[in-house]
Amino acid sequence: MTNSITLSILEENMRFLPLLMLSLVVLTSTAQAQTPVAGFIKTLEGSGQIVRAEATMPARVGDALHVSDAVTTEEKSSIGIMLEDDTILSLGPNSRLELADFAFAPQEENFAVAIRLIKGSFTYMSGVIARLAPEKIRIETPDAVIAVHGTSFLIKVEEK
Amino acid sequence: MIRALLLILCLAFAGCAAKGTMVVLIEDPDGSVGQVEVSTAAGAQRLSTAGQSTSVKDSSTAPGPLRTLDQATIEKDFGQALQARPEPPETFLLYFEYGRTELTAESKPEPATILETILRRSSRDVRINGHSDTVGTREDNARLSLERAKGARDILVNKGVDPSIVQIFSHGEGNPLIPTPDETPEPRNRRVEVLVR
């Protein structure tokens, strides 16, 4: 609905196109700035990507991650991530991880970790949330759910 | 019995043992071992010793029996992921003289150690978290914790820490070192945590 309206405006007012594009860009960047940072890429070997909404960009050390981002690695590549509560995650080669939810606001006692491990090999080392609210941690693979009690572990997911 | 049967079936088809999810519990850096529970709609397995693993064929099958993996097997499947793990943050605690902006005698040498650590790790990510005990209102404690964190930042910046790599946070009474009921004086919780990440 919104899309078709936007389209007809575009067709009738082509001279406003630059203005419309600009406002879209501003809206998009505002929306991104409002999502708090969930973590950072801390290590990278070879190459990997961050998938955010419809965009895919090469991952670099120091890149911030936000809720709903996916991180992928290619062959012979690996990525290490540190979340804001000091949870440590890493991806081996040919892996895909989705950060479905994350909240770390001790002052408001608001905690959430939801990670989906879609394929590949991973390590997980729990952070502060595992100590304060372990029941708020949800780690899923296509096959199983993993509940955490203050721990390091490894996960391997082979696609069907 | 059913689990044993599943394992045999799985081995009968070449390669099928690898499909699905495998979870392995390993040691934390401090040598302690936690616990994880792996569950599907059909059942659950709890891992509690280092090297223990379970495999899950799919979401409608219970996790397989516990198996202890040797180091070589772990290295084969997880070597690259293990290699990629960022070094865990190093944590320092700073305590202040009661009601003052001066560090306690025990905390006085810490800022120099923190600076050394930042340089050794080439860290560009330093977090200063202010904390309080549970005496007083949540709002007052949030404000007090922020003031403590700012005081610690000033001390570190005076020591030579680049202020642009430092972020300060207030955890208020929500992240105690020593869990206590509300309205409990606990000097160990009135602290500032410095994380070099």
Q: Which domains are assigned to chain B?
A: 2-83 (no CATH), 90-196 (3.30.1330.60)
A148-158 average pLDDT score = 82
User: Mind listing the pLDDT tens digit for each residue in B159-181?
Assistant: 999 999 999 999 999 999 999 99
Taking the CA of residue B156 and the nearest CA in chain A, the distance in Å comes to 21
B108-126 average pLDDT score = 94
How do the domains of chain A map onto residue ranges?
1-34, 37-157
pTM of this structure: 0.80
How confident is the model at residue B188, as a pLDDT?
92
Closest CA to B168 of B189, B150, B151: B150
Per mean pLDDT, which range of A29-43, A72-86, A125-139 is the poorest? A29-43
Please give the backbone phi and psi of residue B26, each rounded to the nearest 5 degrees, phi first: -130, 170
Q: What percentage of chain A carries pLDDT values higher than 90?
A: 60
Taking the CA of residue A64 and the nearest CA in chain B, the distance in Å comes to 12
User: Mind listing the pLDDT tens digit for each residue in B135-160?
Assistant: 999 999 999 999 999 999 999 999 99
- Cα separation of B65 and B52, whole Å? 10
Chain A residues 48-87 with CB within 8 Å of chain B: 62, 76, 78-82, 86
**Residue from the list B47, B77, B81 with its beta carbon closest to the beta carbon of A90:** B81
A123: chain B residues, CB-CB within 8 Å = 26, 78, 81-82, 84-85
Buried b (16+ CB within 10 A) or exposed e, A3-41: eeeeeeeeeeeeeeeeeeeeeeeeeeeeeeeeeeebbbb
The mean pLDDT value of chain A amounts to: 83
Confidence tier at A25 by pLDDT (50, 70, 90): very low
Residue B73: DSSP 8-state: H
| Pairing verdict, β B166-172 and B126-131 | parallel
Chain A residues 122-141 with CB within 8 Å of chain B: 122-123, 125-126, 128, 132, 141
How confident is the model at residue A113, as a pLDDT?
95
How confident is the model at residue B34, as a pLDDT?
85
B102-109 average pLDDT score = 92
Q: Quick one: how far is CA A55 from the chain centroid?
A: 12
**Residue from the list B23, B39, B171 with its beta carbon closest to the beta carbon of A107:** B171
- Strands of A106-158 (E only): list them: 110-125, 137-140, 145-149, 152-158
Q: Is the pLDDT of residue A104 over 60?
A: yes
User: Mind listing the pLDDT tens digit for each residue in A64-89?
Assistant: 999 999 999 999 999 999 999 999 99
How confident is the model at residue B138, as a pLDDT?
92
Q: What percentage of chain B carries pLDDT values higher than 90?
A: 72
- Cα separation of B63 and B40, whole Å? 7
Contact B34, A131 (CB under 8 A): no
Residue A117: beta bridge partners? Answer: A97
Confidence tier at B99 by pLDDT (50, 70, 90): low
**Residue from the list A43, A107, A125 with its beta carbon closest to the beta carbon of B170:** A107
Taking the CA of residue A54 and the nearest CA in chain B, the distance in Å comes to 27
Please give the residue of chain A at the shortest CA–CA distance from B43. Answer: A144
Please give the backbone phi and psi of residue B112, each rounded to the nearest 5 degrees, phi first: -65, -40
Contact A71, A50 (CB under 8 A): yes
- Cα separation of A102 and A143, whole Å? 22
**Residue from the list B21, B78, B89 with its beta carbon closest to the beta carbon of A143:** B21
How confident is the model at residue A26, as a pLDDT?
46
Q: Is the pLDDT of residue B87 over 60?
A: yes
